[in-house]
Amino acid sequence: MINRIIKIKGVGKFFDFSLKASSLWNGEFRPITLIYGENGIGKSTLTSIFRSLKNDDSLVYQLRSFGTNDSPEVTLKFDDETENIEYKNGEWDKNKNNIEIFDTHFINTNIFTGFEILPQHRKNLFEIVIGDEGVRLKYQISNLKNQIKEKNNELKEISSEVAKFINVYEMDEILLLQPDFDIETKISKKQKEIDASRAFEKIKQSPEFREMVLIDYDIRYENLKAFCQKSIDSISQEYIEEVEKHKNSLNLGSRSEKWIKDGVDNIQDNKCPFCLQNIETVDIVKAYTQYFNEQYIALQKNTKLLQNKVGEINPEQIFSNIEIDYASNNGYVKFWLNYLNIELVELSITGFKKQTVEITKKLKELVDLKSNNPIKPIEIEIINKLEKILNEGNQEFIKYNEIVKRENLKIKALKEKEVKDVIILEKELEKIKAVKTRQTEEVKELCTIYQKINKEIVDLKVQNSDLQTQLKQYTFEIFSSYKEQINNYLQKFAPYLEIRELKSTYRGGGKDPFADYGLYVSGNKIDFKADSMNPNVKYSLSEGDKSALALSFFLAKVFSDSNIDKKIIVFDDPISSFDINRKTSTISHLYQLSQKANQLIILTHNLLFARDFWEKVKNITQSLKLSFMRNSTVIVDYDIESETINGLFKDFSMLDNYLKFGVSSDTEKRNVARCIRPILEGYFRIKFYGQFKANEWLGEFLKKISISDDSSVLSKLKIYYSDLDEINDFSKKFHHTNPNADSESIYDSELEKYVKNTFEIIAKI
C-alpha cells in the first residue's frame, strides 16, 4: 500500500511538492483514499506517476515541468518497503508491478480510441483478459520467439558467410554434402566438359587419331625362302663344275654368269660372237647350252621379277608415312586432353625403322645375289630375320591401334554428344567444387556452428510449443469466465450491451495474440471500424456506452485477479459527464473492490460523485484534495462533508431520483424544476469559491461570466453560457418569486432535458 507521497518535484504542475503533516492530516494514505481535484490541477499527472512506477521509467521524465531543466524527483513510501522508493536521474530505484490503473490511457490503449476499436486495442486487451499468469506465459512465449528470431538471424549471418564460399546450394543442402574422395577427378572431368562445350565447332572439325599402317612387303616368306634355296637338277654336275670353273676364271665376280649368259644368247649359226669360229663341237659351249636351258631361263625370269619387286620396296617412305601419322596423333593428344582423359602409349618407331631398313637392304642384296646366280641356292637367314622384325614391330602397331580405336570411340562420342549450355555446365562444376569446399576447415566450422544453433532453435520451438499449449488451455478457461464477468457488469451499467464470441486468436502472420470479440447492441452486432457502412462503434455507441464498456473490462480484470489482495487499484475519473446515470452502480462496485484490494485510490473532478462515494465509505476513507499553492500543485486534507452544503445534495438527490424513477404529478415536477437553480448556484459557489456574493443568484452569475476576461477563472464557463442561460430561463418560471409558479405548465420531456443538461454541465466543469 502507498503510505505517503513524500515529494514530487518538477513533474507537471507539481513544481515543488513536499509533504507537510498537520493536525488535520498526518500525510498517510488509507486503504481507501479519495482525491478531489479540478480539471487541469494534476490528477492525470499523479496517475501517470503511478503508471511510471509500475513499468515505465521514462514516463515521469516526459512529464517534467515546463521552465526547468532539472531532472524530476519523486519520493514515495510503501507499507511493505523498508526504504523509500525514489525517482532520480531518469529512473526509479525500484518498480512496483502490483498497481492497476483505470484512466483515459487504459481506455485509449486497450479498449477504444475516439470512434474506433482497433486491432491494437484487442491485442492489448488480450493481456487484460489473461491476467498476470497469462501475461507471464505470453511473455515467456514472446521471449522464446525473440530468442528464436535472434538465433534465426544468427543462422542467416552464418548462411551469408557460407555463401561467400558456396553459393550454388541452400544451407540445408550444404549441410548434407558428404566428403568425396574422387572429387578432383570429377572436377577435372567437368572442366573438360565445359571446355568441350566452348570449343564444340573445333571439336567437330578436329580429326580422330590415326591407326598405324602395318608394314607389309606383300611377300610370301615361305615361297621366298623356297625360291632362294632352289637349284636346277637337269644340269649335269660335270657341266656345272665346268661353268663354275670358267666363271671363276673371268674375274667378274657375281657378274660372270650374266656375262656368259649374254654371250650364249648372242651365238648364231654355232659361231663365236667374238671370233666367228665354229664352236659346235666345243665342249664348254655344250656345257653353256645345257647350263642355260629352259629351266634356267624360267628361274632367271622369276628371279628378275623378285628382284624388281624387292627393289621397289621403300622402307624409308613407309616409315616416313608412319612417322607422319604418329606425329599427328601426338600433336592432337594435347588438344583432346583438354576435353577427354586420353591415354595413348608411346611407340618406339626409330628402332623398328632402323632394323627394318637394314634388313630390307640385306634382303635386296640377297635377291641380287640369287639373280646373278639363279641355279645356286642361297642362305635364307636374312629372310627369317626380316620376318621376325616385321612381325614384332607390327604387333606393337596392333597394340597401339587398339588403343587408338578405344580413344577414338571417346572422341566420336564427344562429337556426337548433345552439347550442354556452358552456363549449365559451369553451374554443375560449381556444385562439384562445393563438395570440395564443404570439407575446408573454415566451412566445416561454420556448418558446425550452424547445426548447433539450429538444434537450439528446435529445442526453443519445443519449449514454445509446450507453452503455447499451456496458454491456449489457460486462455480458453479464462476467456469463458471473463466474458461472463464483463456481461455481468454491462448488465449493471448498460444492459443493452453484450460481449459475445470472446476468444484468443492470431491475425495474419502476427506473432502476438488478440482478444477477439463481438460487441452487440440490443442483440445487433456492430462493426469496430468507423468507416463501415454497417452499424459501427462510431454511430451505435454513446460516449457513456464506451465508458461503461471500458469500465466493465477493467472491473472484470481486477476482480478476477487471484492476487487482488496485493493490488493497488487507481481510478482517475471513474465516471464522466456521460456516466452520471451509472453513478450509483459505479460507486457500489468501487466499494466492493475496496473490500478486496490492498488499496483503492480514486481521483475525481466530479464533486457530486466525490460526495456520494464519500457517503458510502466515509468512516474508512481518507479524503484529500489537489490544490495550487505557492506555484505548485499540492496534496492537502479535504473535509468533503463541511465543504459541501447539505441542501445542495438534497436537491441533487431529488433530480437524481427523478431521472431514475420519474414523478407522477405536475406539482412534483415543479418541485424538481425548482431544484435546478439552487444546485447550479451551490455548485458554482463551491467550485468557484469567492467569485459570487451571498446575495447574488444564477442571473447575476451569468452576467459575471459573460463579462469575464481570459484572466478570470470564470472565463472557462463561457462555452456553457448559452446552455446555462437556457436552463435559467426555464427554471426561474417555477421559482417562488414568480406569482404564477404553481400554475406554470410543465412537461416531462422538457424537464428531463434540463435536468440532464444540469448534470452534464456540473460533470464537465
Question: What pLDDT was estimated at residue 234?
Answer: 46
Burial class of residue 225 (count of CB atoms within 10 Å of its CB; 0-12, 13-18, 19+):
middle
Q: What band does 199 get if pLDDT is binned at 50, 70 and 90?
A: confident
pLDDT in tens, 289-324: 555 545 566 666 667 777 777 778 888 898 999 999
Residue 561 is classified by DSSP as -
User: Pairing state of beta strands 32-36 and 599-604?
Assistant: parallel
CA separation for the pair 54, 100 (Å, rounded): 9
Q: What is the mean pLDDT of residues 557-563?
A: 88
Answer with the residue of higher pLDDT: 126 or 215: 215
| Cβ-defined contacts of 279-284 (< 8 Å, 24+) | 283/242, 284/242, 284/246
- How far, CA to CA in Å, does 610 sit from each of 37, 522, 607, 638? 10, 32, 5, 11
Residue 94 predicted with pLDDT over 90: yes
- How far, CA to CA in Å, does 206 sit from each of 282, 335, 753, 760? 76, 9, 109, 105
Answer with the residue of higher pLDDT: 254 or 291: 254
Q: Which residues pair with residue 18 across a beta bridge?
A: 7
| Residue (of 592, 495, 232) closest to 376 by Cα position | 232
CA separation for the pair 613, 603 (Å, rounded): 11
Cell 570439407 belongs to residue: 439
User: What does CATH list as the number for 25-56+98-142+467-642?
Assistant: 3.40.50.300
Residue 578 is classified by DSSP as G
Q: In the chain, pLDDT over 90 holds for what percent of residues?
A: 33
Question: What pLDDT was estimated at residue 235?
Answer: 47
Question: What pLDDT was estimated at residue 75?
Answer: 97
Q: Judge whether 99 and 54 are in contact, CB under 8 Å.
A: yes
Residue 419 predicted with pLDDT over 80: no
Residue at 393: amino acid letter: G
- How far, CA to CA in Å, does 347 sit from each of 357, 393, 403, 530, 752? 17, 10, 12, 97, 127
Exposure string (b/e) for 333-354, b if CB count within 10 Å is 16 or more? eeebeebbebebeebebeebbe
- Which residues, 6 or more positions from 622, have their beta carbon under 8 angstroms from its beta carbon? 25, 28, 29, 30, 32, 33, 34
pLDDT in tens, 676-731: 988 898 888 888 888 888 788 888 989 999 998 988 888 888 999 999 999 999 98
Residue 451 predicted with pLDDT over 90: yes
Answer with the residue of higher pLDDT: 198 or 215: 215
Dmax (CA) for the chain in angstroms is: 211
Q: What is the mean pLDDT of residues 616-641?
A: 90
pLDDT in tens, 486-513: 889 888 888 888 888 777 776 655 667 7
pLDDT in tens, 119-174: 666 666 676 676 677 778 878 888 998 999 999 999 999 999 999 999 989 999 99
683 grid coordinates: 455548485
Question: What pLDDT was estimated at residue 570?
Answer: 97
Print the SS3 string covering 21-64: CCCCCCCCCCCEEEEECCCCCCHHHHHHHHHHHHHCHHHHHHCE
345 grid coordinates: 602409349
Q: What is the mean pLDDT of residues 380-406?
A: 90
Total number of residues shown for the chain: 765
CA separation for the pair 541, 547 (Å, rounded): 10
Burial class of residue 487 (count of CB atoms within 10 Å of its CB; 0-12, 13-18, 19+):
middle
Q: How many CA atoms lie within 13 A of 449 on its CB side?
A: 15
Q: What is the mean pLDDT of residues 735-742?
A: 75
Q: What band does 625 get if pLDDT is binned at 50, 70 and 90?
A: very high
Q: Phi and psi for 103 in degrees, rounded to 5?
A: -160, -170
Q: Tell me what the pLDDT averaged over the chain comes to.
A: 84
Residue 279 predicted with pLDDT over 80: no
168 grid coordinates: 550454388
Measured at the alpha carbon of residue 747, what is the angle toward residues 743 and 748, in degrees to the nearest 5? 135
Question: What pLDDT was estimated at residue 630?
Answer: 83
Question: What pLDDT was estimated at residue 87?
Answer: 95
Question: What pLDDT was estimated at residue 128?
Answer: 67
Question: What pLDDT was estimated at residue 502?
Answer: 77
User: Pairing state of beta strands 85-88 and 513-521?
Assistant: unpaired
540 grid coordinates: 451505435
Burial class of residue 431 (count of CB atoms within 10 Å of its CB; 0-12, 13-18, 19+):
middle
Cell 462510431 belongs to residue: 538
Write out the DSSP string of 607-631. HHHHHHHHHHHTTTEEEEEEEEETT
Q: Which residues pair with residue 623 across a beta bridge?
A: 34
- How far, CA to CA in Å, does 242 sit from each of 235, 238, 259, 288, 298? 11, 6, 16, 9, 22
Tell me if residue 163 falls in helix, strand or coil: helix
Q: Which residues pair with residue 78 across a beta bridge?
A: 2
Sign of CA dihedral 88, 91, 94, 97: positive
pTM (2 d.p.) = 0.54
- Which residues, 6 or more positions from 409, have their beta carbon under 8 angstroms from its beta carbon? none
Question: What pLDDT was estimated at residue 525?
Answer: 83
Q: What is the mean pLDDT of residues 185-199?
A: 82
* Least confident span in 61-75, 223-237, 420-434, 705-719: 223-237
Q: What band does 402 get if pLDDT is binned at 50, 70 and 90?
A: very high
Sign of CA dihedral 259, 261, 265, 271: positive
Residue 425 predicted with pLDDT over 90: no
So where are the chain's domains?
Answer: 25-56+98-142+467-642, 166-234+296-432, 235-292, 646-764
Q: What is the mean pLDDT of residues 407-432?
A: 84
Write out the DSSP string of 674-712. HTHHHHHHHHHHHHTTTSS-TT--HHHHHHHHHH--TTS
Answer with the residue of higher pLDDT: 403 or 272: 403
**Number of CB atoms found within 10 A of residue 132's CB:** 14
Q: What is the CA radius of gyration of the chain?
A: 63
